[in-house]
Homo-oligomer: A and B are copies of this chain.
Amino acid sequence: MKTRKLFNRISVLRQERNISRKELAKKIGVNFQTVGYLEREEYNPSLDLAFRISECFGLPIDLVFSTEPMRPLSEELLDRKSQNGK
Contacts and interface: CB of A to CB of B under 8 A. Distances in A.
Contact of A47 (B1, B2, B34, B45): B45
A45 B46 CA distance: 7
Copies per assembly: 2
Interface string A35-78: 00000000011111111000100001110010100000000000
A4 interface: yes
A46 to B, nearest CB: 6
A69 to B, nearest CB: 14
A44 B45 CA distance: 12
B65 A47 contact: yes
Given A47-B47, A50-B50, 6 more contacts: A3-B48, A4-B48, A4-B51, A6-B51, A44-B46, A51-B65
